[in-house]
Amino acid sequence: MAAQASEAGNAAERGSALAMLDLTLAQQQERDPDLEITLGADTLYQEEKFIEDLRQRAVAPHVSEYTQESSNLGKNSLTEAERADPRRRISQKKRKLIEKVFGCAKLDSVLRQVKVRGLKRVDWFSRRTMAAYNLMRMRRLIPIQPAA
């Protein structure tokens, strides 16, 4: 749906996530009332302001939580209803599919060591790479019609 390069850092990534969400979603009053939107994210997105921003946009936060081994256990911002949401498990599985795109692009592709400099150029380059990956995926998703 959207891709955007940002400065390295948790706050910048959360800001980019909200900006892309605003670009791809219709305003809440313009949406179909039956349409329920979720957002799956990793643990570093478990920040009270980010979770609250998602709630204000009527987006269910399906963010990974800190575990018992973590020293950040008290920082979990999800309500019990959000934790019990059956869609949360699905969102977490889909999140791994998205991370796979970045892993593929960084492991054996051009994003491993970007040759361009400047945030604007890196953003353009990464969007181009994500578009190319989506084209590769589409050829596998579209069924081949047998010759008649």
pLDDT tens sequence across 23-60 = 777 776 677 777 778 888 877 788 889 889 988 888 88
d(CA 130, CA 2): 9
60 bridge partner residues:
38
Residue 40: CB atoms within 10 Å: 22
The answer to whether residues 30 and 144 touch, using CB atoms and an 8 Å cutoff, is no
Greater confidence (72 vs 83) lies with: 83
Percent of the chain with pLDDT over 90: 0
Q: Has residue 84 got a pLDDT over 70?
A: yes
Token digits for 12? Answer: 């910048």
Residue 148 pLDDT class (50, 70, 90 cuts): low
Residue 23: predicted pLDDT: 79
Q: What pTM was computed for the model?
A: 0.67
